[in-house]
Structure 1
């Protein structure tokens, strides 16, 4: 029986392959932000999921602009132009909103209060704690969506010449050379052991968690669900 070679291969380390990795990571974060905001729009501003979805969109959008141990910041890459001037104020507002209201509870958009509940005579009857919050308004969310779309377009445009250079180089490589390239590492573990403590490195390593059913008597395989 003839065994066919694998139909995909991991590109070896180079300046362009690292650049493609970083741009792909940034594109994924921006796509995650766009999808979260799309979900918020579909449910409406009055939905109880409006705030968590818009907040997640903010978190995902800002990831490319934060210093990381594994990738270059999007706004510090020479291939990426600045945020469009007409959307710069939206970008700055999102960055501050993430820092004061989403990642940390320091904004005046959130007001926790210790309240006394009084009876009709004005005497104290009970004490409660309540929190007033102001989610992202729909009108601003629409500007935010335009910002995400603009940044996605910028990343797509910056990625295309990198892909073309790598495609041209790939055509010069022999099958024997390609077969010698490293493969990404994938490890499997029980979903009960789920953890996010291990940091991503340049050397590709992916951790897959799944529920593994125990073997019943007479079975000879594991079923992963």
Structure 2
């Protein structure tokens, strides 16, 4: 479904990604793990056109989208849930969700997807008239994911969904990610909580200083001595 081929991405003269190659197959959950500054978020930004790579290619469903504008990338079926959620605090929950469908005009489909989001996150239905900025951190994360789903993505990019959340909320969020995947949405997950990410992913890539240093089956990587020592806190 997605092939990131030898991309190099820069912030000014600083090379953040140094020739990264990643593949995501339809129906998978693929996770990127690594320390802060490894290039995980930059990889997602390069895929969705926010920080286009200087060299290399991003190909989605057979089409080169490397130089495509972000709105057109969303229209093709890639949606990102950004780090820090970035909901609209002055809009209601319902208005935030409607913003996710801004490229769509199929009212029956939008209404159906809204109910789907409310089924996944019942608290959002309860709070649908409440300002987004008054929600808890976990509820805001649910809202950010729900807003992305309203675009009806084929590929969902998730950037640090567990950041700053209580463990029980993290478990809930990861359960929902698995449900979304089971319903047919392919997922690319950037996550500092390597244990949780590897436990739900099919495959994984380890990034270090802008390069892929390890890749393979997620369960096998969970047992890799280097991964256990560096990212799982195990000897």
For Structure 1 versus Structure 2, the TM-score category normalised by the shorter chain is under 0.3
How does the TM-score come out when normalised to structure 1? 0.25
Larger Rg over CA atoms: 1
Structure in which a larger fraction of residues adopt strand? 2
Tell me which protein shows more helix as a share of its residues: 1
